[in-house]
Amino acid sequence: MVLLVVMGVSGSGKSTVGSHLATKLGWKFYDADDYHPTENTKKMAQGIPLNDQDRIPWLCKLHDILMREESAGQSVILACSALKKMYRRILVSGGDAVYSKSNQLEEQGDSATGKVLFILLDGSMELIASRLEKRRGHFMAPELLQSQFDTLEPPSAPENFITVSLEKSVSEIVSEIEKSLHLEKCFSRAVSELNAH
């Protein structure tokens, strides 16, 4: 069972890549956009960036979804911006992570830390802006892209993550993620076998 979070700034391709990957793997897909309260979508549509107070209840709801799927033994893919380290800790460990020191959960070896794999879709603001210009019918104001990059804290050790360039086709990105998942699975199996002896 795997819990994947496809993360990145607005327009990086989280919904597109996440849904294609879920279809290819036959896993459930959740789009975090569907769980923003109206107040959040209204703010973003007006070009007002969200703040921690706007995002924390939303992230707690998404954590509950991940834990529900984990309890059901169901692999799942969540498309979610997850811009800050604190936000990713909330997705992994729930609301208590708001009050934990920066690496406390990782230092304690929080059991859920290893269960969630973050996949950062990484690329230039120019390319993402060009894609947002072409996107139609989405509530997110394209002018918010700068604030997204200003807020982004890219994942780093000891977080469980991989980085994939968004400057490829959707199918190439999906294939690259599948290969990484396969390698991760082989590695985990090898470690379990070593530990068993």
Ligand X SMILES: Nc1ncnc2c1ncn2[C@@H]1O[C@H](COP(=O)(O)OP(=O)(O)OP(=O)(O)O)[C@@H](O)[C@H]1O
Contact positions vs ligand X (CB under 6 A): 8, 10-16, 33, 79, 81, 131, 134-135, 140, 166, 169-170, 173
169 binds, among ligand GCO, ligand X, none (CB under 5 to 8 A by kind): ligand X
Give the footprint of ligand GCO on residues 48-87 (CB under 6 A).
50, 55, 81, 83
Residue 91, exposed/middle/buried by CB under 10 A (0-12, 13-18, 19+)? buried
Give 138's contacts (C-beta < 8 A, 6+ positions apart).
none
Min CB(141)–ligand GCO separation in Å:
9
Per partner kind, with CB cut-offs from 5 to 8 A, the member of ligand X, ligand GCO, none near residue 13 is ligand X
Q: How far is the CB of 146 from ligand GCO (least distance, A)?
A: 12
Residue nearer to ligand X on the CB measure, 67 or 170: 170
Contact at 8 Å (CB) between 44 and 26?
no
Amino acid identity at 10: S
Residues between 19 and 38 that touch ligand GCO (CB under 6 A): 33, 36
Length of the chain: 197
Query: Quick check: 116 and 92 in contact, CB under 8 A?
Result: yes
Tokens of residue 57, six digits: 């209840």
CB of 143 to ligand X, least distance (A): 12
Q: List the beta strands (DSSP E) in the chain.
A: 3-7, 28-31, 76-79, 116-122, 161-165
Q: Which is nearer to ligand X, 122 or 184 (CB)?
A: 122
Q: Is there a contact between 86 and 97 (Cβ–Cβ < 8 Å)?
A: yes
Picked from ligand X, ligand GCO, none, the partner binding residue 83 (CB below 5 to 8 A depending on kind) is ligand GCO
Q: Which tokens go with 181? A: 């998942």
CB of 14: closest distance to ligand X in angstroms? 4
Tell me how crowded residue 1 is: count the other CB atoms within 10 A of its CB.
12
Task: Give residues 149-178 in contact with ligand GCO (rule: CB under 6 A).
Answer: none
55 binds, among ligand X, ligand GCO, none (CB under 5 to 8 A by kind): ligand GCO
Q: Using CB under 6 A as the criterion, which residues of the chain lie in contact with ligand GCO when the complex forms?
A: 10, 33, 36, 44, 50, 55, 81, 83, 140, 148
